[in-house]
């Protein structure tokens, strides 16, 4: 069930954010990382695919033409997990994950409870099941948000900067989990991410957007070159692809200095 996007335009109010974004492909079983500078339209692109932001263009997931589906219909096969998972809701972790399931399917209570239990266990959230969301740390909330996503068994899972609130240990843990999830369930995972080292290490495929336009996409080795990084981020960077160690992207300097 490959995700394909062509001729996607999206405006927020009078401001056009996405300009004819075309040629994006993401395969099942793989992680596709969406990278680009701040304000390049990464979040808007993910929200447009999810139907949260109105957009025009062609979005297909396998045989399904997503752009012809309503928000509710799209939510049956995809899920978007936003960057900020903070909430003041007086709900327990179990209630929050069960809610994610209940808003998608009407099913016997036993089936829903089993599904929630499996999701919590797979993310090692069992000890936190009765805790209220407001009492959780940023990292714990992020794991709950991922549990809310996987309990809905989406075919396409989009995550907006899923590692931004996590410490190094949890960053590696969550991305490793997502990679195994993509392989095991054969789902399409697209994640917007700023950390190029993590993108290089965990993504099978990269999409690059800048100023609302699709610049390039391909394997990390093809995309993450010093020349491209200069074009995309206006930085000088050193990139290494060792055979026996994870790839390394080392930013050296910004081409433009603040204050001249």
Partner 1 sequence: MKATTRLPHIAKPESTAARYLARQRRQRGLIVLTALAVLASLLADVATGPGAYALPDVLKALVAPSEVSRVLQIVVWEIRLPVALMAIIVGASLAVAGAEMQTLLDNPLADPFTLGISSAASFGAALAIVLDFGLLPVAGTLLLTGNAFLLAMFASLAIWALSRLRGVSIQTMVLMGIAIMFFFNALLGILQYVASAESLQQLMFWSLGSLDKASWGKLGLAGLALLVTIPIFVRARSRLTALRLGDVQAKAMGIDVGRLRLRMLLCCALLSATAVAFVGTIGFIGLVGPHIARLLVGEDQRVFLPMSALTGALILSLTSILSKTLIPGILLPIGILTALIGLPFFVSLILRSRRELWR
Nearer to partner 1, 52 or 215 (CB): 52
- Residue 49 touching partner 1 (CB under 8 A): no
Altogether, the residues listed in the chain come to a count of 260
- Residue 129 touching partner 1 (CB under 8 A): yes
Smallest distance from partner 1 to CB 210, Å:
24
Burial annotation 200-218 (CB, 10 A radius, 16+ → b, else e): bbbbbbbbbbbebebbebe
- Residue 90 touching partner 1 (CB under 8 A): yes
Smallest distance from partner 1 to CB 87, Å:
5
Name every residue whose Cβ is closer than 8 Å to that of residue 149 and which is 6 or more positions away in sequence. Answer: 79, 81, 100, 157, 159
Backbone phi, then psi, for 246, in 5-degree steps?
-65, 155
Smallest distance from partner 1 to CB 225, Å:
34
- Residue 99 touching partner 1 (CB under 8 A): yes
Are 61 and 1 spatial neighbours (Cβ–Cβ below 8 Å)? yes
- Residue 92 touching partner 1 (CB under 8 A): yes
Smallest distance from partner 1 to CB 42, Å:
15
- Residue 126 touching partner 1 (CB under 8 A): yes
- Residue 114 touching partner 1 (CB under 8 A): yes
Are 68 and 60 spatial neighbours (Cβ–Cβ below 8 Å)? no
- Residue 47 touching partner 1 (CB under 8 A): yes
- Residue 95 touching partner 1 (CB under 8 A): yes
- Cα–Cα distance for residue pair 183/199, rounded to 1 Å: 17
Ranges of beta strands (E only) in 22-154 are 24-26, 31-35, 55-61, 64-65, 78-81
Q: How would DSSP label each residue in 212-224?
A: TEEEEEE-HHHH-
- Residue 68 touching partner 1 (CB under 8 A): no
Q: What residues line the site for partner 1 (CB under 8 A)?
A: 13, 47, 50-52, 71-76, 79-82, 84-85, 87-92, 94-96, 98-100, 102-104, 109-110, 113-114, 116-117, 120-121, 126, 129-130, 132, 134, 152
């Amino acid at each position: 069930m490959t995700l394909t996007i062509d001729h996607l335009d999206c405006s927020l109010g009078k401001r056009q954010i996405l300009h004819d974004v075309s040629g994006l492909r993401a395969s099942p079983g793989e992680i596709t990382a969406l990278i680009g500078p701040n304000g390049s339209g990464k979040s808007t692109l993910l929200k447009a695919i999810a139907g949260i932001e109105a957009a025009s263009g062609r979005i297909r997931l396998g045989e399904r033409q997503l752009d012809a589906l309503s928000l509710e219909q799209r939510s049956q096969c995809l899920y978007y997990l936003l960057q900020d998972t903070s909430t003041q809701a007086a709900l327990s972790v179990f209630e929050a994950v069960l809610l994610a399931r209940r808003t998608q399917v009407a099913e016997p209570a036993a089936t829903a409870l089993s599904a929630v239990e499996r999701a919590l266990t797979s993310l090692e959230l069992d000890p936190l099941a009765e805790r209220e969301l407001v009492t959780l740390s940023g990292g714990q909330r992020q794991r709950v948000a991922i549990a809310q996503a996987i309990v809905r068994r989406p075919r396409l899972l989009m995550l907006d900067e899923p590692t931004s609130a996590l410490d190094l240990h949890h960053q590696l843990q969550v991305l490793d989990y997502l990679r195994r999830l993509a392989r095991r369930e054969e789902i399409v995972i697209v994640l917007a991410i700023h950390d190029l080292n993590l993108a290089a290490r965990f993504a099978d495929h990269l999409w690059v957007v800048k100023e609302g336009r699709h610049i390039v996409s391909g394997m990390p080795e093809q995309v993450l070159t010093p020349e491209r990084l200069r074009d995309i981020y206006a930085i000088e960077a050193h990139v290494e692809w060792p055979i026996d160690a994870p790839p390394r992207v080392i930013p050296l300097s910004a081409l433009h200095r603040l204050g001249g």
